[in-house]
Structure 1
Amino acid sequence: MADVAAMAGVSSQTVSRVVNNRSNVEEETRQRVLSAMRVLGYRPNTAARALVTGQFRTLGLISFGLSSFGNARTVDAVTRAAQRAGYTVNMIAVESQTEQAVHEAFDQLTLQAVDGIVLIEAQILDTPSLRLPPGVPVVMADGDVSHRHPMVDTDQALGARLITRHLLDLGHESVWHVAGPEDSYAARRRAESWHATLKEAGAATPQLLFGDWSAASGYKAGRELARRPGVTAVFAANDQMALGVMRAMIEAGHRVPEDVSIAGFDDLDESAYLSPPLTTVRQDFDVVAEKIVSLMIGQIETGAAPSATAFVAPELVVRQSTGAPPRP
């Protein structure tokens, strides 16, 4: 570190601030230090730094199922946000939502010396008897309705309200909904908001259909809806299921959007290139991740666990898959 400081013409304290990604260093100075580090091949001694600071600059991440688009995007966004803050991420994917599985994941991560743990969509935390091991800062992504831990999520209710209201404003008398799995926080919040929005508008509330986030489950629901008279608008709880609904409707001879409007949720990259392009709700996973990492670092640095719940507003993206209902 002394060699780096001498080459960069700064103090050892300034080198330390750059190594620890502190903000109180001018950018020109930071670049001189980084250049000197590269020339000299300097690598921080993380073990020694941990002994001094009590921090390992590593976050643990537990995801309950990576097959979901939202979970996968959250993992990616949290990893990148942590890296920007100078932290690495160790992740464990847990398929079984049991108390034993959660405790085993915590044990594995704490043995890897993490400073805090992010949990993504952990329905198991609804279990009253479950208590997470003490002493490790925790932040939830999409979950923990009991508010025992800080939580950050997209405002799922707002997103569902935006899409349902959009379809009603186009003139549809009601909106059918293909919901996600019943044990999903996001799916429940979207379905509840869809139902509440219809009731507020004085519209009929059709029977709820359930899928599993897959296009295949949307296709199955779409085939059922295609046989029902009077279905002019369908809101699927994610874009994959909306794709399945759209195919089923087209196969049954329904035009989109002339006969039936179809909307999704998530705004997959491919959604803009469907035929027709899909109306959907865009989630800002990067902002969600930044808030998660910020809450986590705040806990690590202060030792205090905030009882915070933060929601990030989504954006309605209107494309050509929705339009006015057919004339009688």
Structure 2
Amino acid sequence: MKINSSKVAELAGVSRSTVSRVINNYSNVPEETKEKIMKVIKELGYIPNTNAQVLAGKTNKTIGLFVYGDNSEKRNILDSGLTFGYYLDLINRVLKESLKLEHQLLVDVVNDDSYSKIDSLFINRNIVGAIFIGFKGEDEKLEKLIQKGYLSVLVDYTLNPKVEAENIFYINTEDYEGAKLATDHLIELGKKNIIHISGNTEKLSSKERERGYLEAMNSAQLKPLIYNGNYNQLLAYDEINRILEEKVEFDAVFSANDNMSYGVLKALKEKNIIDIPIVGFDNLRNTIPLGIMSIAPDINKLAKEAVQSLIFQEKEKEKMKFIKTKLIKDLNEYLKESYLEECSL
């Protein structure tokens, strides 16, 4: 007879995910259920399928970091430091923080067909917890996975209120505040026709950044001008060219991320337009030297919070955390910010 977690679940009269939670020592299982499962495990002599370290009695110290990308995006995320610089920067910082706390990091770009693979990593105790980045809002497969009680950190995501889940931490940047700060700054420069190039409308960050832009424009009694770039440099480039062809009047641009700002700048330069201020979001390395202002989230802080929430979960009380942002206007501010950041690493 093949002995596995499914057999344990069958004999104990529970689901496979409940067996997994008991094996992983999660607290959200009734004591009576836990005792019943442990009795079956002992009777069968079942040993969970896990890595050699765990079988040897050592604690598993691997964190999973999963970035969402459909098949067309997957190669770009892995290969292009320019296009997906935000993800690569965050992954690098999460890796540094994990190593500092003597944990390994497993990184993968996942799509709609990958959820069973993540489920298996949890069930087999290959990872102690997971950080999910870039997933679209109300992702049913992700939320079904989260409902199993796996220890997780969700970045740029909020669960559907109807979904009941434990062992979840939320870490988001102050997208609304940052977008309002960017737009207010352009208004203070005397700009009245400010275009907003919005991001992926299915993602929380894009919705919040658009909300911040609208609040600033409405407060100043200015007409919003919103065009979608889907967080994509080429689409933003095409949108600006279309706007120019249609002779839409504008005197500034707030882009929902730096990646799209590069497309905006390229389109304007090709038309010899050099007097339009641009503010992006993310403070990627190339942005400020190109003359683009940017909203800078504290990515180092985000990485620390994500990793430490998983490792020290018993001490964590605050489930929802927001990472502060600031406006970087010129190269001097950028260099100062970079220096302070390096000192904190």
Normalized against structure 1, the TM-score is what? 0.72
1:212 alignment counterpart: 230
Which one of 190, 200, 221 corresponds to residue 181 of structure 1?
200
Moved over 3 A (4+): 124-130, 145-148, 304-307
Deviations 1:91-114 (A, max 9, x none): 221033xxx632332213543521
Q: Is the CA contact (8 Å cut-off) linking 2:193 and 2:249 kept in structure 1?
A: no
Deviations 1:253-294 (A, max 9, x none): 4223xxx222211122112322xx111111221110101112
Deviations 1:153-207 (A, max 9, x none): 221111111110100011111311111122222222211211122112222112x
1:59 alignment counterpart: 63
User: What is the DSSP-based 3-state SS (H/G/I as helix, E as strand, rest coil) of the residue aligned with 2:304?
Assistant: helix
Whole-angstrom distance in 2 between the partners of 1:128 and 1:111: 19
1:104 alignment counterpart: 117
Q: Is the CA contact (8 Å cut-off) linking 1:94 and 1:105 kept in structure 2?
A: no
Are the structure 2 counterparts of residues 126 and 199 from structure 1 closer, same or farther at C-alpha, using a change threshold of 3 Å? farther
Which one of 262, 265, 273 corresponds to residue 254 of structure 1?
273
1:310 alignment counterpart: 321
Q: Is the CA contact (8 Å cut-off) linking 2:66 and 2:132 kept in structure 1?
A: yes
1:21 alignment counterpart: none
Which one of 55, 71, 77 corresponds to residue 93 of structure 2?
77
Whole-angstrom distance in 2 between the partners of 1:261 and 1:318: 10
Whole-angstrom distance in 1 between the partners of 2:149 and 2:259: 40
1:171 and 2:190 equivalent?
Answer: yes
What is the count of residue pairs matched by the alignment? 262
User: What is the DSSP-based 3-state SS (H/G/I as helix, E as strand, rest coil) of the residue aligned with 2:322?
Assistant: strand
What aligned pairs does 1:114-263 form with structure 2 within 5 A after superposition?
Answer: 114-123=127-136, 125-127=138-140, 130-132=143-145, 134-146=148-160, 148=165, 149-206=168-225, 208-227=226-245, 228-256=247-275, 260-263=276-279
Normalized against structure 2, the TM-score is what? 0.68
CA RMSD of aligned residues (A): 2.7
Whole-angstrom distance in 1 between the partners of 2:142 and 2:99: 34
1:297 and 2:308 equivalent?
Answer: no
- The range that moved more, 261-270 or 160-169, is 261-270
User: What is the DSSP-based 3-state SS (H/G/I as helix, E as strand, rest coil) of the residue aligned with 2:274?
Assistant: coil
Whole-angstrom distance in 2 between the partners of 1:195 and 1:50: 57
| Amino-acid identity (%) | 20
Unaligned runs of at least 5 residues, structure 2: 1-51, 78-83, 332-345
Deviations 1:97-144 (A, max 9, x none): xxx632332213543521111111222654399422635311112212
